[in-house]
Amino acid sequence: MTKTTICGTDLHILKSDLPSVAVGRILGHEGIGVIDEIGAGVTRFRRGDRVLISCITACGKCEYCRRGMPSHCEQGGWILGNTIDGTQAEFVRIPFADTSLYPIPENADEDAMVMLSDILPTGYECGVLNGAVKPGDTVAIIGAGPIGLATLLTTQFYAPANLIVIDLDDNRLEVAKKFGATEVINSADGKAVEKVMAMTAGKGVDVAIEAVGIAATFELCQEIIGAGGHIANIGVHGTSVTLHLEKLWSQNITITTRLVDAVTTPLLLKTVMAGKLKPKQLVTHHFTLNDVMKAYDTFGNAGRERALKVILTNS
């Protein structure tokens, strides 16, 4: 491993939201590294190659992989730092390396590459693509953490007219403005619905993207979605949420869920290398791997520390 990072999902794991993760598991499903050793089945990589690790392991051969849905790969999917040891370590074993790693181009910024393991494909696939964002749309992103901000960056591929970001943290909303939000709302006063309705002439938004993973934010999406709209859930939910079908049944709403497939990583890598997408701005803190507990403390208290993504360097 050269560099890795901590994901919001790792915090959900620490809160016991994900029972699949056994006690003692090495966490982490993001990062870049240099190949130290290859298994007999690997044909596309050699010792010494610099590689980007996808958060999704894909065998490339099973039914789900062939359907472009490696998140549900029969032998892979999200297994790193979940059911097998992950990337917050000096070394990591990557199964199905040929279809789960990407070569890192020369001149690539290493911190930017780490953002391609998970948060950029997650924001783009689960939020932007599932939300079917179109030019001219009014899009609301609920949650301005790293995933919400990655969604905010990639939503702009489609030129939405209005990009409303909702969060409880003024610092994050400030960042969202710098990243392209046209309106920001601090929902602490309980008036987010009212404000969104005022901004949209009472119609609601075309796309509501949930990037937190709690009941209140999914409820908010249901309250601000306009007729014909899309609610795209990204958040990792640990408890059930009320579905207001009594209001939504007649509103031509589409609700989507997804575990990132990371099938758009090559596309996103090209946009990063071309300078069209600048994910390095998501990195706020650097630590060495030996200071991993300090890094968790910083990331776990993101509001206090003004933290977005933290990079852990193995040195």
| Chain positions contacting Zn ion, by CB under 5 A | 7, 9, 59, 62, 65, 73, 118
- Tell which residue, 194, 211, 256, has the closest CA to residue 229: 256
User: Which contacts (CB < 8 Å, 24+ apart) does range 43-47 have?
Assistant: 43/98, 44/97, 44/98, 45/97, 45/98, 45/101, 45/103
**Residue with Cβ nearer Zn ion (65 or 142):** 65
Report the alpha-carbon distance of residue 181 to residue 153 in Å, rounded: 9
**Residue with Cβ nearer Zn ion (9 or 271):** 9
Query: CB within 8 A of 3, min separation 6: which ones?
Result: 31, 32, 33, 110, 111, 113, 114, 311, 312, 313, 314
**Residue with Cβ nearer Zn ion (85 or 118):** 118
CB of 166 to Zn ion, least distance (A): 21
**Residue with Cβ nearer Zn ion (57 or 271):** 57
CB of 57 to Zn ion, least distance (A): 8
CB of 29 to Zn ion, least distance (A): 6
**Residue with Cβ nearer Zn ion (60 or 136):** 60
Q: How big is the CA angle at 154 (ends 146 and 172), to the nearest 5 degrees? A: 30
| Beta-bridge partners for 51 | 33, 103
Query: What tokens appear for 160 in the block?
Result: 């939405």
**Residue with Cβ nearer Zn ion (118 or 261):** 118
CB of 112 to Zn ion, least distance (A): 16
* 225-233 and 205-210 beta bridge pairing: parallel
Report the alpha-carbon distance of residue 158 to residue 93 in Å, rounded: 37
CB of 8 to Zn ion, least distance (A): 7
CB of 252 to Zn ion, least distance (A): 32
| Composition of the chain by helix, strand, coil, percent to 5 | 35, 20, 45
